[in-house]
Amino acid sequence: MAENKEAVRNFLDAELPEVSLVSSHATYLLWLDCRKIAGDTSELCRYLRSETGLYLSAGSIYGGNGGAFLRMNIACPRTRLLDGLERLRAGIKSYGNHGD
């Protein structure tokens, strides 16, 4: 899982600098900080699902101040992870324009 976590960190740094990975000791569930994109990620999650087929969890379902975060499960083969990251990139890039 450490390799998948590092792949996510590298991808976000290079392709989605507006999303940051929250440091944690979790093995396969990551928190993605999306405060620069959305105050509440519930709508962002719905958008990603409908536009890209990517299923992530909105942080608000976990309570507290999780509303600006996404939860990503990285317990999968690397090819699936990279596909998901590409979908995330495409969805976030188009999310900013979907209200136009």
Structure confidence by residue, pLDDT tens digits, 13-67? 999 999 999 988 877 899 999 999 988 899 999 999 999 999 999 988 777 777 7
Domain boundaries, the chain: 2-84
Predicted pLDDT at 59: 85
- In terms of phi and psi (left: phi > 0; alpha: psi -120 to 50; beta: otherwise), the region of 29 is beta
> Can you tell me the distance from the alpha carbon of 67 to that of 39, in angstroms, rounded to the nearest whole number?
7
Question: For 2-84, CATH number?
Answer: 3.90.1150.10
Closest C-alpha to 51, from 98, 10, 18? 98
The pLDDT of residue 100 is: 46
Cα-based torsion angle of the residue sequence 52, 5, 27, 30 in order, rounded to the nearest 10 degrees: -40
